[in-house]
Chains A and B, each alone.
Chain A
Amino acid sequence: MRKYILKRVLYMILTLFLIATITFFLMKLLPGTPYQNQDKMSASQIHMMNEQYGLNKPVWQQYLIYIFGMVHGDLGISFQFSSQPVSYLIATRIGPSLQLGIQAMIVGSVLGILLGAFAAIRKNTWADTLATLLAILGMSIPNFVFAVLLQYILGFKLKLFPIALWDNFSSSILPTIALAMMPLAETARFMRTEMIDVLSSDYIMLARAKGLTQAGVVWHHALRNSLIPVITLAGPLAVNLMTGSMVVENIFSIPGIGEQFVKSITTNDYPTIMGVTMVYSFMLVIVILVVDILYGIIDPRIRLSGSEVSA
């Protein structure tokens, strides 16, 4: 087991290093300078600015400095926000994003598991059809359409929630629902298939033959065994939440890193784009690592065959 974890961690570091390298050189390929009105600046001003941002050194030195700094948690200086370090920008903005992401993950997976299990128990009834329909809608309707719909109906027309604000818990409800729809749908579909599979297995028949109640069978045997493969969904869902956070944070004006990312893309703030890219990749790689290790613990076959379950 230790060898397996070590191997996965090494892969993780290699992956992050590759991402950092690719991002760095992609950004170097980009045309244009970080300065808004370069024409008005004198040569010595540009020289000073280049020195401040470390842009006067050869590319390979900039690269080494970037990688070295990143290992120490230094992601460079933002072009856009009056010389703020990128790491500071991200640190102040990651809170709301994490809160939303975790809330959406919990709401989505818990409701999804319940809905999926419910549909599986009532297989081929109207309840099942309804649950499947809900899951299809949740998967198909883009989260930004859903976010706007919620904002318009619950926020603007019915005035139940703030439209676009970030202060207390009630302002996080709408964005959480909008973000949770996709995880909910995915989990429900996956759970339904797993649960139907489990419910038709021999050990469930044995449990029933022993005279266990329906609730006992479902709770103690079916649900627990169907939950194991659902863990593998964590990777894809994390990606999904990151994608979703960019638009949902924008729509609800939440000061998170998704909103920051979109802003830095539209303003060519390369150090921030690179920084947020690294943060996103880091989070995803960690989620995949945790899922792989968890799965390796639960199901030793995965570990031995060396295959992986990530998305």
Chain B
Amino acid sequence: MADEKMNLPKDAFEPLKAGEQLNNERIAAPSLTFLQDAWRRLKKNKAAVISLWVLIVIIVLAVGSIWFSPRNPNAQNATYANLPPKIGHGFWGFSGKANVAGAVVDAYKQAGVPKGTYYILGTDYLGRDLLSRILFGTRISLLVAFVATFFDLVIGVAYGMFSGWYGGRVDNIMQRILEVISSVPNLVVVILMIVVFKPGIFSISMAIAITGWITMARLVRAQTLKMKDQEFILAARTLGESTRKIALKHLLPNLSSTIIIQLMFTIPTAIFFEAFLSFIGIGISAPNASLGTLLNDGYKTFRFLPYQMWYPAAVLSIIMIAFNLLADGLRDAFDPRTRG
């Protein structure tokens, strides 16, 4: 090598003027904020994306049914009671035919329903359109869940931040209180609350929120403890920020991923509790309906008219699965280290 003369053409080199900047320090990819980065990771999780779309569709349908309900969910029509599902002139399972004592009969003909009138998911024991009722029930279930989650958020985050920020004796006392509260079975608290305050959308939401904020408070406290000694807080303090501003402007944004993940797990729990309470008969009362009350109504006759139970059960299960999958996806997206 050393003996050979290197023949490099002169024009292969380009002289660089003194002081001219090179681009080799440039970062080609756009710099992403924390949320953009999480969003990018979430998009890779197929199950989470599908769940997100499913939830969006369900929420839009449920909210939209305030204005565009197929029928009035509370309109009763005793002659059209317990009609099986039927679409158009009937196909597949939606034929409008019922199995009465082993013989297949056309329930629509028997009830004297005029041609062209059909109920996609059938009617219930009072002749109410099941599809409209499911949309209505989904709306109430989601409303209860969101209200409960909102209170959860406010109480839990405030309590956790306060406890973590002040530390010392305040923290100690607040944590002991949490310990005592958390060793009461939360269902018992929820039921007692509902026995005391009459069942209704607000009281159920409150009852669920009162038991649900504890996990949130614990998580937020742990994160606050970890963060309050970090440099960005010290910097803010040095610059003379007030405690309130530090908490709201510096601490809270950094807690956001913990909070969002926990919220996504709280919503399905709240939906479950509401359905549970309504199912055992102490939840939302008539004429309001939730998925739980629909299940309860359907359960009474499910051996003979199973569709009245299966449709609300399916909607409830789909919502629960979608929320859980989305929550899982969000947790992985916000904190890639937890990924198994």
Contact mask for chain B residues 177-212; partner A; CB cutoff 8 A; 1 contact, 0 none? 001101111111001100110000000000000000
Q: Given A137-B321, A311-B182, 11 other A-B contacts at CB below 8 A?
A: A141-B321, A144-B276, A145-B313, A145-B317, A148-B302, A239-B186, A243-B187, A262-B281, A266-B282, A281-B188, A310-B179
Contact of B316 among A142, A156, A239, A310 (CB under 8 A): A142
Flag whether A234 is at the interface (Cβ < 8 A). no
A11 touches B187 (CB 8 A): no
Output the nearest chain A residue to B187 by Cβ-Cβ distance.
A243
Docked CA distance A144–B323 (Å): 19
Query: Quick check: A11 and B316 within 8 Å, CB to CB?
Result: no
Is B309 interfacial (CB-CB < 8 Å)? yes
| B residues whose Cβ falls under 8 Å from a Cβ of A | 179-180, 182-188, 191-192, 195-196, 268, 272, 275-276, 279-282, 295, 299, 302-303, 306, 309, 313, 316-317, 320-321, 323-325, 328, 338, 340
Q: Find chain A residues with CB under 8 A from B280 CB.
A: 246-247, 250, 262, 265
Q: For A141, list chain B residues within 8 Å (CB).
A: 317, 320-321
- State which of A13-21, A88-96, A167-175 sits at the interface with chain B: A13-21
Beta-carbon contact of B320 and A26 below 8 Å: no
Asked whether, in the complex, the Cβ of B180 is within 8 Å of the Cβ of A14, the reply is yes
Contact with B along A46-76 (1 / 0, CB 8 A): 0000000000000000000000000000000
Q: How many A residues touch B, CB cutoff 8 Å?
A: 49
B340 to chain A, nearest CB (A): 5
17 contacts between A and B (CB under 8 A): A11-B180, A12-B183, A14-B180, A15-B183, A30-B195, A30-B196, A140-B320, A142-B272, A142-B276, A144-B275, A144-B279, A149-B313, A193-B340, A243-B185, A268-B195, A280-B185, A310-B183
Instruction: Note all chain A residues with C-beta closer than 8 A to B272.
Output: 142
- Closest CB-CB distance, B203 to chain A, in whole Å? 13
Cβ of B184 to closest chain A Cβ, rounded Å: 5
**Which 6 interchain pairs have the tightest Cβ spacing?**
A140-B320, A140-B321, A243-B187, A145-B313, A196-B340, A141-B317
Out of A30, A144, A266, A288, name the residue touching B183 (CB < 8 Å).
A288
In the assembled complex, A80 has its CB within 8 A of some CB on chain B: no
Q: How far is the CA of A284 from the CA of B282 in the complex (A)?
A: 23
Contact of B324 among A19, A139, A148, A268 (CB under 8 A): A139
In A239-286, the 8 Å CB interface with B consists of: 239, 242-243, 246-247, 250-251, 261-262, 265-266, 268, 273, 277, 280-281, 284-285
Decide: A145 near B183, CB < 8 A? Known: A152-B306, A196-B340, A266-B281: no
A224 within 8 A of B: no
Contact A19 B184 (CB under 8 A): yes
Contacts of B279 in A (CB 8 A): 144, 247
Q: How far is the CB of B147 from chain A (nearest CB, A)?
A: 20
* Contact between chains at B179 and A11 (CB < 8 Å): yes
Q: In the complex, which residues of chain A have a beta carbon less than 8 angstroms from the beta carbon of B321? A: 136-137, 140-141
Across the interface, which residues of A come within 8 angstroms of B328, CB to CB? 136
Tell me if A273 and B195 are in contact (CB < 8 A).
Answer: yes
| Complex: A167 Cα to B100 Cα, angstroms | 32
A215 in the interface (beta carbon within 8 A) = no
Q: How far is the CA of A265 from the CA of B191 in the complex (A)?
A: 8
Contacts of A277 in B (CB 8 A): 188, 192
**A23, A142, A144: residue with the most chain B Cβ atoms closer than 10 Å:** A142
Bound together, the chains give a CA A231 to CA B331 distance in angstroms of 23
- Do the beta carbons of B324 and A140 come within 8 Å of each other? yes
Question: Chain B contacts of A266 at CB under 8 A?
Answer: 281-282
Q: Is the CB of B303 within 8 A of A239?
A: no
- What separation, in Å, do the CA atoms of A254 and B312 have in the docked complex? 25
Q: Contact flags (1/0) for A1-31 with B, using CB distance below 8 Å?
A: 0000000000110110011000100100110
- Which chain A positions have C-beta within 8 A of B187? 239, 242-243, 246
Say whether A145 contacts B340, CB under 8 Å.
Answer: no
Q: How far is the CB of B43 from chain A (nearest CB, A)?
A: 19
Assembled-state Cα–Cα distance A139/B268 (Å): 10
C-alpha gap A230/B183 in the complex (Å): 19
Chain A residues with Cβ below 8 Å from B299 are 148, 251
B282-A265 in contact (CB<8A): yes
Interfacial chain B residues near A11, Cβ < 8 Å? 179-180
Q: How far is the CA of A247 from the CA of B338 in the complex (A)?
A: 34
